[in-house]
């Protein structure tokens, strides 16, 4: 199993280049085509026309955004020029969520970033990462805003509750987990603990072992969403994991998304890259 096309979200935030470095590493390992997809903040212009000299402000703002996009494009192309990968640069216009979702459906894997409130250039749109996870239909590898993530997959924690989302995430992550050391963290939130169709953790372990991974199982009692999220993070830290794999829970259309508690906790507090699938 492999990823035929990896799309990495780029903007003019500081962490954008960490995401690119990780995407290049993955594309090299899997001989994937790499697409650098630029999407930055674009202001809603309707209300701006109520401002005095709105046209001048809009023109100056557009010029600033285009200059930043061009700087990112040039750096991306310089970075890719010396490598042997097949690559492409793309940039979306207008609403960034709509544009990125349109492009993302082509991907085998999307590499994106955790929202970083400390970086003013890290804001793309409200619930941008959440929309990618819940609306793209593709696995999303979220890179944390803090720390250094130089390698993913050799040592991982797979969050497993036996449901559809967990199975989807595990299947999508198998190229990263093959041949590695994996701990299957088996737990359900209190609301899901009575599911009769839940597949046991042994199913996840067998899937991993067929990919050459060494799998162990860690059982945790059911608990509230936030508690389970914190336990997964603690398990990853204790295990020395460089990747967490989990199904993402939520519903709604973009801009009005409602995340499950475990998913929300992980997006806010991740310390290592997290691959999510919905």
* Range with the poorest average pLDDT among 73-77, 116-120, 192-196: 192-196
Q: Are residues 168 and 216 in the same domain?
A: yes
Total structural domains in the chain? Answer: 2
* Range with the poorest average pLDDT among 11-20, 44-53, 64-73, 137-146: 44-53
What's the 3-state SS for the chain? Answer: CCCCEEEEEECCCCCHHHHHHHHHHHHHHHCCEEEEEECCCCCCCCHHHHCCCHHHHHHHHHHHHHHHHHHHHHHHHHHHHCCCCCEEEEECCCCHHHHHHHHHCCCCEEEEECCCCCCHHHCCCCCHHHHHHHHCCCCEEEECCCCCCCCCCCEEEEEECCCHHHHHHHHHHHHHHCCCEEEEEECCECCCCCCCCCCCHHHHHHHHHHCCCEEEEEECCCECHHHHHHHHHHHHHHHCCCEEEEECCEECCCCCCEECHHHHHHHHHCCCCEEEEC
Q: Are residues 168 and 262 in the same domain?
A: yes
Res 141: pLDDT: 98
Res 277: pLDDT: 96
Q: Are residues 115 and 177 in the same domain?
A: no
Q: Are residues 11 and 115 in the same domain?
A: yes
What CATH number is associated with residue 235?
Answer: 3.40.50.620
Res 261: pLDDT: 86
Q: What is the mean pLDDT of residues 190-205?
A: 77
Q: Are residues 110 and 36 in the same domain?
A: yes
112 inside domain:
yes
Q: What is the mean pLDDT of residues 20-29?
A: 95
* Range with the poorest average pLDDT among 82-86, 175-179, 194-198: 194-198
Res 192: pLDDT: 54
Q: Are residues 79 and 44 in the same domain?
A: yes
Which of 123, 143, 163 is at the close of a domain? 143
Is residue 221 predicted with pLDDT exceeding 90?
no
Q: What is the mean pLDDT of residues 177-189?
A: 90
Q: Are residues 121 and 171 in the same domain?
A: no
What's the pLDDT tens digit per position in 137-165?
A: 999 999 999 877 668 989 999 999 999 99
Which of 79, 108, 143 is at the close of a domain? 143
Q: Are residues 31 and 58 in the same domain?
A: yes
150 inside domain:
no
Of the chain, the end-to-end C-alpha distance in Å amounts to 20
Q: Are residues 39 and 121 in the same domain?
A: yes
Which of 143, 168, 197 is at the close of a domain? 143
149 inside domain:
no
Sign of CA dihedral 47, 49, 51, 56: positive
76 inside domain:
yes
10 inside domain:
yes
Q: Are residues 129 and 180 in the same domain?
A: no
148 inside domain:
no
Range of the domain at 88: 5-143
- Beta strands 274-277 and 140-143, pairing class: antiparallel
What's the pLDDT tens digit per position in 228-275?
A: 899 999 999 999 999 999 999 887 665 567 778 888 999 999 999 999
């Amino acid at each position: 199993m492999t990823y035929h096309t990896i799309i990495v979200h780029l903007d003019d935030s500081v962490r954008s280049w960490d995401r690119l470095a990780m995407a290049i590493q993955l594309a090299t390992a899997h001989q994937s085509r790499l697409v650098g997809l630029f999407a930055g903040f674009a202001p809603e212009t309707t209300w701006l026309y109520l401002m005095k000299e709105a046209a001048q402000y809009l023109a100056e703002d557009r010029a600033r955004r285009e200059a930043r996009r061009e700087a990112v494009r040039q750096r991306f192309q310089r970075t890719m020029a010396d490598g042997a990968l097949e690559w492409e640069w793309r940039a979306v216009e207008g609403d960034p969520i709509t544009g990125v979702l349109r492009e993302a459906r082509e991907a085998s894997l999307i590499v994106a970033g955790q929202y970083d409130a400390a970086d003013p250039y890290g804001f793309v749109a409200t619930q941008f990462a959440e929309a990618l996870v819940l609306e793209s239909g593709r696995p999303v590898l979220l890179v944390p805003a803090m720390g250094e993530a130089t390698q993913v997959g050799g040592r991982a924690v797979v969050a497993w509750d036996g449901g559809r989302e967990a199975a989807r995430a595990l299947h999508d992550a198998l190229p990263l987990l093959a041949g590695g050391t994996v701990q299957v963290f088996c737990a359900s939130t209190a609301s899901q603990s009575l599911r009769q169709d839940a597949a046991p953790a042994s199913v996840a372990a067998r899937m991993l072992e067929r990919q050459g991974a060494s799998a162990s199982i860690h059982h945790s009692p059911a608990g509230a969403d936030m508690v389970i999220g914190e336990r997964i993070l603690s398990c990853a830290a204790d295990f020395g994991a460089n990747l967490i794999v989990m199904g993402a829970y939520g519903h709604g259309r973009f801009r009005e998304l409602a995340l499950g508690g475990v998913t929300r906790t992980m997006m806010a507090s991740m310390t290592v890259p997290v691959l999510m699938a919905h």
